[in-house]
Amino acid sequence: MSLAGRPDAWIKSFRAGGERLRLFCFPYAGGGPQVFQTWGAWLPPRVGLHAVHLPGRGTRLNELPLHRLEPIVVAIVRALRPMQDLPFAFFGHSMGALLAFETTRALRLGSAGPSLLIASGCRAPPLIEEREKIHDLSDAAFIRKLVELGGTPEEVLEHRELLDLLLPTLRADFAVIDTYRYSPAALLACPVTVISGSTDAHASRSTMDAWQLQTSNRVSFREIEGGHFFVHSAEHELAKIVADELDRCMAPGVVSAW
C-alpha cells in the first residue's frame, strides 16, 4: 500500500443520507476531521457533512504524514471520485483552504468541480510564498511559533511526550505550506466566499483580497471577530456563515449553474 493510504481513509463522514449537497471540510495544519464534527447541528438539513482526514493524525496516527501538497491533492481527488454523484461544496481553513483550492483546480481537469469554495483564514494563493517559513526550525523555535499562532491546545503544549508525538505531523503540514509554489492557471468557475478574522495577523484581510482574482464567478468577503483560530473561538458564527452560503448555493437553479 502506498503512503497515501486507502481512498476511503481520506474522508470521514459525520452526516450522510438524504443529502442534496455534500460539504467537504479541509482542516488547518495539524488538524483532523473532528474539528468539524459538531457542525451538523448548524448546517442546512439536506447538507451532508464530510471532512478530509490526512495521514498522521487521529485514527491515521500511525501513517506517515505527507510533506508536499501534490500527493495530498492526488489522494483527495481519488477519494472524492465515488462521492461526486451529488453536487458538493468545499470549506477549508488556513492550510485547508489552500488544499481545497488546489483540489478544485485538479478536479476541473477531469470532472465537475465544487459548486462553492469557502476559503477561511488563508491569504490568497499567490501570497502564500510570502509567509514566514517555519517547518525546519529547531524544536524550541518551532514550538514558539505554534504558541504564537494559537490553536494548539494547552494540554498538548504542556505535555512534552504528546507534543513529541505530534511534532512530525505538524512539521509535515507546515512543510506543505512552506514549499507551496503558486502557478497561474485558468480561473475557477465556481463562486468563492472568503472569511477572515478581524485580528488575524497571519491572514489579514489585505492578504485575502486577491482571492477575487482566482475565479471568474462572484467573490464574497465576510469577517469574523477573532484571530487566526476563529474556527474555534467563533465556531457557531462561522458555521452559520457557511450554512447561509450553502443555502444560497442550494437555491433553485443555482447548484446546476456552475
Are 167 and 195 in contact by the 8 Å Cβ rule? The answer is no
Question: Could you tell me the three cell numbers for 119?
Answer: 476559503
Are 241 and 194 in contact by the 8 Å Cβ rule? The answer is no
DSSP 68-130: SHHHHHHHHHHHHGGGTTS-EEEEEETHHHHHHHHHHHHHHTTS---SEEEEES---GGGGGG
Collect all residues with Cβ–Cβ distance below 8 Å to 7 and sequence separation of at least 6. 75, 78, 79, 81, 82
Collect all residues with Cβ–Cβ distance below 8 Å to 103 and sequence separation of at least 6. 26, 73, 76, 77, 80, 90
Question: Could you tell me the three cell numbers for 207?
Answer: 492578504
Pairing outcome for strands 11-15 and 88-93: unpaired
Q: CA 18, 19, 23: angle at the middle one, nearest 5?
A: 150
Give the Cα separation of 203 and 82 in Å (integer).
34
Active site residues: 94
Are 123 and 208 in contact by the 8 Å Cβ rule? The answer is yes
